[in-house]
Structure 1
Amino acid sequence: MSPHPAPDPLAARLRDVRVDFGTRTAVRDVDLDVPAASVTVVAGPNGAGKSTLLEVVAGTRPPTSGTRWAMAAVAFVPQRAAVPDRLPITVRDVVSVGAWGRRGPWRRLDPAARAAVDESMERMEVTDLARKPFFALSGGQRQRTLLAQGLACGADLLLLDEPTTGLDSDSGERIRAVVRAEAQRGAAVVCVSHDPEVLRIADSVVRLVDGRVVDGHLGAGATEPQPA
């Protein structure tokens, strides 16, 4: 159920959102505004409903009740990607999926789309892995490849689930730099994270406990969003 589009500068809006899994409520009574050109971090303990909330913003999980609105160009990067052993898909194949929005699934990419794939791989430092099977990558390499896929579509709303979990310091720093660069480009970035370094780059932090928003405040260097 979607209301009329929210006015600029919002990239997404939730109102009174609730998500039930059978008799268990994972998210309840959540209102959320996601400004464009910003980094919003969703934090909280395990089981608080953070990933479920991100799925609602992404549009991959419809709320049980409440309303969702988001910009059309959305890229969702999950925390893990399960790929069967020996699936014949390379790193470049995975990143190229992100450019399908420019041409459509299974259509040959045009020069602009191929350039977007090349640039995204370079930004995430996976160019040298282009021909390597995705299943053979380390966890950090997979995460950087999936983020490159998200970047390749040039989304207005970039959603990341624990983007730095389990990564070495260099990979984490690279991802944080890209997150800030995307916000400076004008995209809205929403990260589920408990990483203190990710929290430091946030413009705003939304904290969940037992599926409810218990706190939302501005991060370092943030400014008050314009009224909706």
Structure 2
Amino acid sequence: MKRNIFLFLLLIISVSLSAQISMVSKKIFLDSLNQECTPDNYSYTRVITNYSQKSMRYVVTDFYKNGRKKMTGATLDRDILKKDGEFIYYYKNGAKEAVVNYTDDHKNGKEINWYENQSKKSEKQNIWDPKTKKSQTLILNCWDEDKSQTVTDGNGEYEETDKFISQKGTIKDGLKQGSWQGNDLLHKTTFVDNYDRGILTSGISVDENNVKTTYSSLTEKQNTKNVKKLK
């Protein structure tokens, strides 16, 4: 009889704890573009561990389908990802991919990236000015996959891939300088950009139909409605 009562109490405690965990945390499903989706077609899951508590910052962790961490850090908003503080990113095999610091959802501070084999890829310094709302990234040191250093103390040749965009060029004093060549797989374009101390001064892109587009600033490049097309 006592054994049955004990098991019954244990069951109640277990259910109660599960209910508390469910109330505290929130789990959502994300597709490959990090948009919320249904459990039928998800690529990642996101857990906000202190969702039901009123807080200045909320712990957020993304997981791959294999259950391993993809990203972990803190957000200023429990419903919208506003990164703040240190974020750690991981490859699917569990190896560390990057450590990035944020201030109010902007990269700010030291950033370190690794290749999947855990050899160091790059060291950067991100600068965010909340008054001017401008950001800048200094490329300090960089290594290729053969562990050869291509950028040393802010000077050298650099190649980067960010999602769908790949580009390469010269780094001087930590900033992009001169002509940079690249391609955008998403928009199916190739481009040549010209930089002066990290500022895009001019550029031209060519799409799959050989239509050329010129621009004179990063804003113009991003806003295709305002660019001038060459025939």
TM-score, with normalisation over the residues of structure 1?
0.27
- Give the structure with higher Rg (CA): 2
Structure having the larger proportion of residues in helix: 1
More strand per residue: 1 or 2?
Answer: 2
